[in-house]
Structure 1
Amino acid sequence: MSLDTLTSPLLTRPGAVAADGVDAGVAWHYGDPTREQRLLEEGVAVVDLSHRAVVTVTGPDRLSWLHSITSQHLTDLAPRTSTEALILSPKGHVEHALHVVDDGESAWITAEPGTAEALIAWLRSMQFMLRVEVTDRSAEFAVLGEPVGRESADGEPLAWRDPWPHVAPGSVSYAAVDEADHPANGRAWRELLVPRRQLAEVVGERPLAGTWAAEALRVVAWRPRLGFETDHRTIPHEVDWLRTAVHLRKGCYRGQETIARVHNLGRPPRRLVMLHLDGSSHHLPTSNTDVELDGRRIGHVTTAARHHELGPVALALVKRNTAPDAVLIVDGVSAAQELVVAP
């Protein structure tokens, strides 16, 4: 069954308004997105992410194989320990982002909605004679996002704990601030893997928050998302993705040459910023809206959101040499920069 044919049963909950685009199939909000953001920050709400792709890799060679074809060090990944890996093009551009946790017998991967078919096709093309089996589990298992900052324990459903923003061993930060001052420091987030038929039961009486709330909190955490903060030429350095998803001292993998060359010899051509948008406009800019300086296009919006405290904000990719104190223009309104990646 294709993931595209699956619609969450939680869309029948009172007040649910369906999301569209990439997040179609789950709720955008349940009637009060501002309250839903607060409940998420308080650690009591959960987010229906059952549209995410779920893939398993089984077999005795699974971790060494994934290690050899992704950006992350995976050979000694302990059971119920979460990590993040990227699949890069030969030129180092981001193609897939994998949330990986192993249960001791299978490596479980969650990925962006609608990407299972392409991801599995590429993984199977790289199997050769290794003892691995790749399976789409999206029709059987659903993802539930919850503001919990620990790994899953024995006896609990398996979960992927988001490592962001902590700099993983072998990685490096490109952020303009130290980890202690990062806006996501102390952030708690994980993806719980539950049988799809038990999704409503696992949610229970906990309040639900929609993707509107989850995306607003992701933006202010400077957390990149595949297909939003990335395009066909994005390299991890531009969005500070090395910190959690790239191991700089592991063996050869596709795209490694670009990773090493940019890290050792130069700086990325673009950098991620968070924009504080003038609140006088009643609408948010859409993805790919031009970011301008002195009438010239110097970048584009990747994700815009309305935060319950900061108001309208956005992540954007701009040219690296854009002056950090420049006031930019987005869709006719002014936008002040908050540095994410250091220029």
Structure 2
Amino acid sequence: MFLTRDGAVAGSGGPDAGVAAHYGNPIAEQRTLAAGKAIVDLSHRGILSVTGADRLGWLDSVTSQALAKLAPGESAEALLLDPTGRIEHVLRVVDDGTTAWLLVEAGEAAGLLAWLESMRFMMRVEVADRAGEFAVVGWFADAADAMGDATGGGLALPVAAPNGIPLTWVDPWGSVTAGGHQYADDGTHPYGDWSWRESLVERAALAGLSGLPAAGTMALEALRIAAWRPRFATEVDERSIPHELDWLRSAVHLAKGCYRGQETVAKVHNLGHPPRRLVMLHLDGSDAVLPPAGAEVALDGRVVGRITSSAIHHEFGPIALAVVKRNTDPQATLTVEAEGVTVAAAQEVIVPVDAGATANVPRMPRLGAR
């Protein structure tokens, strides 16, 4: 439906293929979206439902987040980790008192559904793919709606509420969640402007949204990068652990019970350091090139990381998120190769070099030392 709008240009590849990348003016769309005056078509995203009396306790037991007491209408973010603590799935969770709704990236639903089915055992739960019935629409709460109305604020979205509770996921990135921990410097963190929501709308109702202003995924990506907000489809690779992306602040509860991968989470947080760290890069725009995801990041000719996301921001110009080696000098100017051009990149620290090792463990004197 959104792709039939005037000026709509579909994403040509990557995680947002199949929905509108922009409608002719991505920079103007950013401003409208950030002001809470536009919606983003995310109808390609996956949606699963979990029903049954044991649903919240079961999800609590297999994920990194404390979900057992999630109240109707309350939102959460959770990670599914492998036994070594690496990220396998990211779940955006909202419960309506009867059903837990899981919002995931495009292409992730089938694999996640199969894994959850394999973990049911004797639990009273049922898991289903619901993307055929519902679609995701994204939006920002505007200044007049700072508390985050679940019904779509001033946009008056027809938010689905099959069990009487509007199904809007409120992104917890705006603050450190209970049981979480932030590695980034609170004084410089841009989370205060991040009021992102994702609402479920019945697919039959999508046509009725034609009168609402829309922004493309390019606008959303630029705002997300500026907010240092990690995304599973872009920042995560086969080695990623939560600490590297500052994801303990919104998706990990450090004091909950055991779950797969918890040993790595606790060990790195308390005793070690994450081997890599997320940074935001301010890119030199003199040559009008934007390094794509996957472009190598170098220091003095030595590769230290890769770009994970990049965009042109309406205020900052060309920016990117990158994952680099932990000990990369945070004061150094890095370089990125793009279209045969070497682009200078100034770092903005998200995860500091000394992240982790929060436990104050006294060092034992060496045997024989005086």
Shorter-normalised TM range? over 0.9
**CA apart distance, 1:274:** 0.4
User: What does 1:83-232 correspond to in 2, within 5 Å?
Assistant: 83-148=76-141, 150=148, 152=150, 157-175=166-184, 177-178=185-186, 181-201=188-208, 203-232=209-238
**CA apart distance, 1:16:** 0.3
**CA apart distance, 1:156:** 6.7
> Secondary structure at 1:199's aligned position in 2?
helix
**CA apart distance, 1:25:** 1.5
Match of 2:207, as an amino acid? A
Looking at structure 2, the residues matched to 117 and 134 of structure 1 have their Cα atoms a distance apart, in angstroms, of 11
Aligned to 2:298: 292
Looking at structure 1, the residues matched to 233 and 41 of structure 2 have their Cα atoms a distance apart, in angstroms, of 19
1:341 aligns with 2:348: no
> Secondary structure at 1:244's aligned position in 2?
helix
**CA apart distance, 1:146:** 0.8
Q: Deviations over 1:195-235 (max 9, x none)?
A: 0111131x352210000000000000000000311100000
Unpaired runs of 5+ in structure 1? 1-8
Aligned to 1:244: 250
Looking at structure 2, the residues matched to 151 and 240 of structure 1 have their Cα atoms a distance apart, in angstroms, of 27
> Secondary structure at 1:228's aligned position in 2?
helix
**CA apart distance, 1:261:** 0.1
8 A Cα contact 1:165 1:243, kept in partner = no
Q: Deviations over 1:7-40 (max 9, x none)?
A: xx21111110001222111100001101000001
> Secondary structure at 1:251's aligned position in 2?
coil
**CA apart distance, 1:281:** 2.6
Aligned to 2:8: 16
State the aligned residue count: 332
Match of 1:259, as an amino acid? V
Q: Deviations over 1:127-167 (max 9, x none)?
A: 01111000000111000001025252686731000010310
Q: 1:281 to 1:200 in 2, by over 3 A?
A: farther
8 A Cα contact 1:80 1:151, kept in partner = no
Match of 1:190, as an amino acid? R
8 A Cα contact 2:73 2:166, kept in partner = no
**CA apart distance, 1:181:** 3.8
Unpaired runs of 5+ in structure 2? 152-160, 354-370
Q: Give the structure-1-normalised TM-score.
A: 0.94
Q: Report the aligned-residue RMSD.
A: 1.3
Match of 2:346, as an amino acid? A
Looking at structure 2, the residues matched to 76 and 98 of structure 1 have their Cα atoms a distance apart, in angstroms, of 17
> Secondary structure at 1:164's aligned position in 2?
helix
Match of 1:194, as an amino acid? V
